[in-house]
Amino acid sequence: MNYENLLIAIENQIAIVTINRPEKLNALNKKTITDLHKAFKLLNKNNEVRVIILTGSGEKAFVAGADIAEFSNYTIEEGTDLAATGQEKVFDFIENLKKPVIAAVNGFALGGGLELAMACHFRIASENAKMGLPETSLGLIPGYGGTQRLPQLVGKGRAMEMILTASMISAEEAVSYGLVNRVVPPVELLPVCMDIALKILKNGPYAISKAIKAVNANAKEGKNGFDVEIKAFGKCFGTHDFTEGTTAFLEKRKADFIGK
């Protein structure tokens, strides 16, 4: 499938999704949100894909924010729908995807861009990355999950400071906060993400999907993460991957997982 604002490459069970609006610093508009939803929905169903890397085109930005010109005249109802639709179609969708999604943050990740990176399962940043939630400088608040995910990642105090001051932080600050896992030179960003993806590919895909579900449950209101973990742990015992993984370990050979 062709996408207006995305580039997708698949190789060795790894998909690289590139948001491709470099003239707009990859800003999120409605069309890009729709493209992302369609792409991730298909990749989630594609048995040839087991890990996804999400990045932005060019050297300046991952995603520099939402396309402000598109919603500057919205009403209360339209603004509410914008946030609800975006969260459902992309941000929550990616967070709960059964396949790992790594954000390769190349440059600016601001507003909706940082929210998109936070929806991914973890983040690797280039040294030139700058991150922030500047919505309050526009008379708004983050609407794509930023007020919820940022405190989970960096703590309430730091999240409050970032949101209320609308300030950007450097890649080094981001790694010290726990917002990103590591910082690498720009030329090493995708190779490092690919190396991590290859390590993930060595493990059981069914177990990977259940681990994502269990970790996410910890942050959801009304969910007992321990119960989710216990049930997911038990289900793993009924899979081919568990039998294959333990047998391979005992036989001192590489496991051949199939995801079931």
What average pLDDT does the structure give for the chain? Answer: 95
Question: Confidence band (pLDDT; 50, 70, 90) for 240?
Answer: very high
Q: Is the pLDDT of residue 182 over 80?
A: yes
Inter-axis angle of helices 240-251 and 205-217, nearest 10: 110
Q: Which residues are bridge partners to 169 per DSSP? A: 131
**Both structure tokens of 231:** 């049930």
Closest C-alpha to 19, from 68, 52, 54: 54
Assess whether 135 carries a catalytic annotation. Answer: yes
φ, ψ at 192 (rounded to 5°)? -65, -45
Section 131-142 average pLDDT: 97
Residues 6+ away with beta carbon under 8 Å from 238: none
Domains of the chain: 6-200 (3.90.226.10), 203-251 (1.10.12)
- What is the distance between the alpha carbons of residues 260 and 257, in angstroms, rounded to a whole number? 8
CB 209 within 8 A of CB 216: no
Question: Confidence band (pLDDT; 50, 70, 90) for 68?
Answer: confident
State the catalytic residue, choosing from 59, 70, 115, 229. Answer: 115
Question: For a pLDDT cut of 70, what percent of the chain falls above it?
Answer: 100
Question: Confidence band (pLDDT; 50, 70, 90) for 218?
Answer: confident
pLDDT for res 260: 87
Q: Is the pLDDT of residue 155 over 90?
A: yes
State the catalytic residue, choosing from 23, 70, 127, 135. Answer: 135
Question: Confidence band (pLDDT; 50, 70, 90) for 198?
Answer: very high
Section 42-50 average pLDDT: 96
Concatenate the DSSP letters of all residues of 126-188 into one string. Answer: ETT-EEE--GGGGT----SSHHHHHHHHH-HHHHHHHHHHT-EEEHHHHHHHTSSSEEE-GGG
- Tens digit of pLDDT for each residue in 139-150? 999 999 999 999
